[in-house]
Amino acid sequence: MVSDIIKSIAYWTDKLGFAANTYGEPVDFAILRRDGCFMMLSQAPEDHEIIPNWKIKDMTWNAYFWVDDAKKIYEEFQKSGAIIDYKLHEKPYGVLEFGIQDLDDHDIAFGQDLTG
């Protein structure tokens, strides 16, 4: 759920490099895709309070994408002005990972498996 689907679509396409298919008139749903990864956005009702997962349970993402080159994507997102939640670093569980936030404070992580 997003509070402003048009602004959210622009963020995902302009800052994160996803392509969008939009639905509805006016637009109220979108399927975004990049490198075999997909994200669905839906316009929240006007009176709906959006609560990101991390506000309900600490350290819980709304989405997690497995990627082949986390460093490359991290550098791309830095240059594009994406909202970086936490910097690229190696996790003790063998993943090179970083996190971003969307316009509604949802936490989205990108991780590269380093264990082979």
Question: Is there a contact between 67 and 111 (Cβ–Cβ < 8 Å)?
Answer: yes
Domain harbouring 64, CATH code: 3.10.180.10
CA distances in angstroms from 64 to 26, 46, 77, 89, listed in the order given: 29, 27, 15, 15
Tens of pLDDT along the chain (116 residues) come to: 999 999 999 999 999 999 999 999 999 999 999 999 999 999 999 999 998 878 788 878 899 999 999 999 999 999 999 999 999 999 999 999 999 999 999 999 999 999 98
Give the total number of structural domains in the chain.
Answer: 1
Q: What is the pTM assigned to this prediction? A: 0.92
Chain centroid to Cα 13, Å, comes to: 11
Angle at 39 between CA 104 and CA 64, to 5 degrees: 80
Q: Which domain holds residue 19?
A: 5-113
Count of other CB atoms within 10 angstroms of residue 48: 10
